[in-house]
Amino acid sequence: MVALFAVAAAAVLGAGALTAVAVTGSGPDRAAVVESDDRPSPTPPTTTERPAGPPLCLVGSWESAEERSMVRFYTDNDPILFTGSGRRYEFRPDGTGTERQDNVVLTGSYQGNELRIVANGTNEFRWTATDRQLTYVARTATTMTYTMFDQRGLIATQPLEPEPALNEVDDYTCEGTRAVESNASGYRARWVRTDGSGVYG
C-alpha cells in the first residue's frame, strides 16, 4: 500500500372483518361461522438481513515479513524498486485501521549506490474488502514521515497528509496467519499475523 463493506420485509395481512370457520365436531353439518369483528390476522415477524461484515481473515494485527514497492525516489528518473519489512497494521471489524512504522527501512539501488527510505509514524484509515480485493477508502489522520537518503546522506524529509478520498484498491489472498497483498503499481507484500489483536481464520 502506498500509504483498507439489508433488506427488511414485512407482510401485513387483511383489513376489516375477517370470517373464520370453527369446526366444533365431525360431520358436514357441525360447522359454524364466527365473525372476528376487529381482530386482524397476526402480522408475520419482520425479517432482516444484516449487512455483510468485512472478511474475518483480514481482521486483526499484521506485520510485513517482506514487501516491495516501486518508488519515484528522484523526480527526474523512473521509479526504483525498494524492498523492506516491519510495517505493522491493525484491521478492525468496524472498518477502521491503523498502520504503524517505527524506523522501518526500505532500501533500493541507483547507479550502484544504496538508497534508503526510513518511515516513522502512524496512519489512521478506513477500509473495506471483498473476498479478493482490499480497499483503503480514506487516510483519516497521519503522523507519518518519510526520510530519504542516498550516497550524499539525507536528501529530503516528506510528511504524509490525510487523504479522505484515497480509494486505493489492492488484490489480496488470506489464509489463517498468512496474507499476500499486491497492486498494479508494483507493490507486493507478504504479511504474517501477530498477537496484537484477535486471530481469525
pLDDT of residue 54: 81
Instruction: Tell me the per-residue pLDDT of 159-171, one tens digit each, with 9 for 90 and over.
Output: 999 999 999 999 9
Buried-exposed string 82-97: b where 16+ CB fall within 10 A, e elsewhere? bebebbbbbbbeebbb
Phi, psi of 68 (to 5 degrees): -140, 140
Residues 28, 26: Cα–Cα separation, whole Å: 7
60-193 CATH pick, 2.60.40, 3.30.70, 2.40.160, 3.40.50: 2.40.160
Query: Rounded to two decimals, what is the model's pTM?
Result: 0.71
pLDDT of residue 45: 58
Helices (H) and strands (E) in the chain, counts: 0, 15
123 class by beta-carbon count within 10 Å (0-12 exposed, 13-18 middle, 19+ buried) = buried
Could you read off the pLDDT tens digit of each residue along the chain, which spans 201 residues? Answer: 433 322 222 222 233 222 223 333 334 333 344 445 555 556 665 555 555 668 899 999 999 999 999 999 999 999 999 999 999 999 999 999 999 999 999 999 999 999 999 999 999 999 999 999 999 999 999 999 999 999 999 999 999 999 999 999 999 999 999 999 999 999 999 999 998 765 544
Place of cell 546522506: 153
| Domains of the chain by residue range | 60-193
Phi, psi of 33 (to 5 degrees): -95, 130
SS3 69: strand
